[in-house]
């Protein structure tokens, strides 16, 4: 078994699922398949399904000498205060990939994802945003989010400049690559080749770059909860990698695309004011002109 030496650590809703899928299909790269986001190293983030070291390392048992890079993708690691240090203790020479986007666009996308997974119960994003102060005090929390209220603190989750600064305080810049979602949309192949170059892996000629994890909602919340409970029981039984046709068909049937809704001018200004300092920090850390995000 090879130990992982590459970690795609975030951020959520920044194109990470699509990029992880692209890398997973490269013949010289091994990415975890049975569990897309192991969430093993973020001990400060609530995870009822946390694995033992033996279970975690079993995810990589099929990695062999043909794989130049062995990795995993857990988007919670970037916002975790402990994950990077834990990773470095486990894999001292690890390399890190980070995907970022405009937090003003990221925050409502994170909210939509939490609505889909039913960890959020306030359907209107502006109302959920205004509820953050109450939630810090333990109020207005969904019953299944009481152990991880931090996931509902959208302002904190989306402060990518602060999170990247913390990462760069622990890891040298030559071992960190930052990808902007804007670039991924504009020229996916160019971004893909840059990532392969960063990892030291040859081009496999990929020309198709499908998107993934697009914004969606559930038709029937009750069915969504039943499927979530079923998945949890599978994990408790050690069957998280087992995929049944009926299970997947029910999941697919219960999903429908979710239309994007833009915040009104006043609320958008509130979001920009909240993230302005962090946006400027991200631009400074990456050498990127992100002033357009403030307009």
pLDDT in tens, 74-88: 999 999 999 999 999
Instruction: Report DSSP letters for 176-197, one per residue.
Output: EEEEEHHHHHH-HHHHHHHHHH
- Domain residues of the chain, as ranges? 6-104+156-212+276-294
How many helices (H) and strands (E) would you count in the chain?
13, 7
Residue 264 has what DSSP assignment? Answer: P
Share of the chain above pLDDT 70, in %: 83
**What pLDDT score was predicted for residue 227?**
56
Query: Crossing angle for the helix pair 188-199 and 16-24, nearest 10 degrees?
Result: 60
How many CB atoms lie under 10 A from the CB of residue 129? 20
**What pLDDT score was predicted for residue 196?**
98
Residue 58: which residues within 8 A CB-CB, separation 6 or more?
Answer: none
Question: CA gyration radius for the chain?
Answer: 19
List, for residues 143-195, the tens digit of each pLDDT value. Answer: 876 668 899 999 999 999 999 999 999 999 999 999 999 999 999 999 999 99
User: pTM value?
Assistant: 0.86
List, for residues 93-129, the tens digit of each pLDDT value. Answer: 999 999 999 999 999 999 999 998 888 999 999 999 9
Instruction: Give the mean pLDDT of the chain.
Output: 88
**What pLDDT score was predicted for residue 277?**
98
Query: Alpha-carbon torsion 119, 123, 129, 131, what sign?
Result: negative
How many CB atoms lie under 10 A from the CB of residue 251? 15
Share of the chain above pLDDT 90, in %: 74
SS3 of 121, please? coil
**What pLDDT score was predicted for residue 259?**
61
User: 192 or 34, which is more confident?
Assistant: 192
**Exposure class string for 60-74: b at 16+ Cβ within 10 A, else e:** beebeeebbbbbbbb
**What pLDDT score was predicted for residue 117?**
85
Residue 3 has what DSSP assignment? Answer: P
9 has pLDDT over 90: yes
Cα angle, residue 117 at apex, residues 111 and 118 outer, rounded to 5°:
85
SS3 of 266, please? helix
> What CATH fold (topology level) applies to the domain 6-104+156-212+276-294?
Rossmann fold (3.40.50)
Residue 41 has what DSSP assignment? Answer: S
**What pLDDT score was predicted for residue 118?**
86
Q: How confident is the model at residue 250 (pLDDT cuts 50, 70, 90)?
A: low
């Amino acid at each position: 078994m090879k130990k992982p030496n590459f970690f795609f650590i975030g951020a959520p809703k920044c194109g990470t699922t699509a990029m992880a899928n692209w890398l997973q299909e490269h013949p010289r790269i091994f990415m975890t398949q049975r569990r897309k986001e192991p969430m093993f190293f973020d001990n400060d983030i609530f995870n009822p399904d946390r694995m033992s070291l033996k279970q975690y390392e079993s995810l990589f048992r099929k990695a062999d000498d043909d794989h130049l890079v062995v990795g995993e993708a857990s988007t919670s690691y970037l916002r975790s205060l402990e994950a990077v240090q834990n990773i470095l203790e486990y894999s001292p020479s690890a390399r890190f990939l980070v995907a970022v986007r405009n937090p003003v666009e990221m925050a409502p996308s994170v909210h939509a994802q939490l609505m889909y997974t039913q960890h959020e119960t306030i359907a209107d994003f502006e109302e959920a945003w205004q509820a953050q102060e109450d939630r810090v005090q333990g109020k207005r929390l969904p019953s299944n989010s009481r152990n991880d209220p931090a996931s509902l603190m959208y302002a904190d989750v989306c402060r990518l400049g602060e999170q990247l600064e913390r990462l760069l305080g622990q890891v040298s810049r030559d071992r960190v690559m930052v990808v902007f979602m804007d670039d991924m949309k504009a020229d996916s192949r160019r971004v893909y080749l840059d990532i392969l170059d960063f990892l030291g892996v040859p081009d496999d000629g990929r020309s198709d770059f499908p998107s993934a994890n697009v914004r969606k909602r559930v038709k029937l919340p009750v069915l969504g909860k039943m499927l979530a409970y079923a998945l949890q029981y599978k994990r408790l039984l050690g069957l998280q990698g087992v995929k049944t046709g009926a299970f997947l068909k029910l999941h697919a049937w219960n999903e429908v695309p979710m239309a994007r809704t833009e915040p009104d001018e006043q609320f958008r200004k509130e979001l920009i004011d909240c993230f302005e300092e962090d946006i400027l920090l991200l631009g400074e850390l990456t050498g990127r002109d992100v002033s357009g995000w403030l307009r």
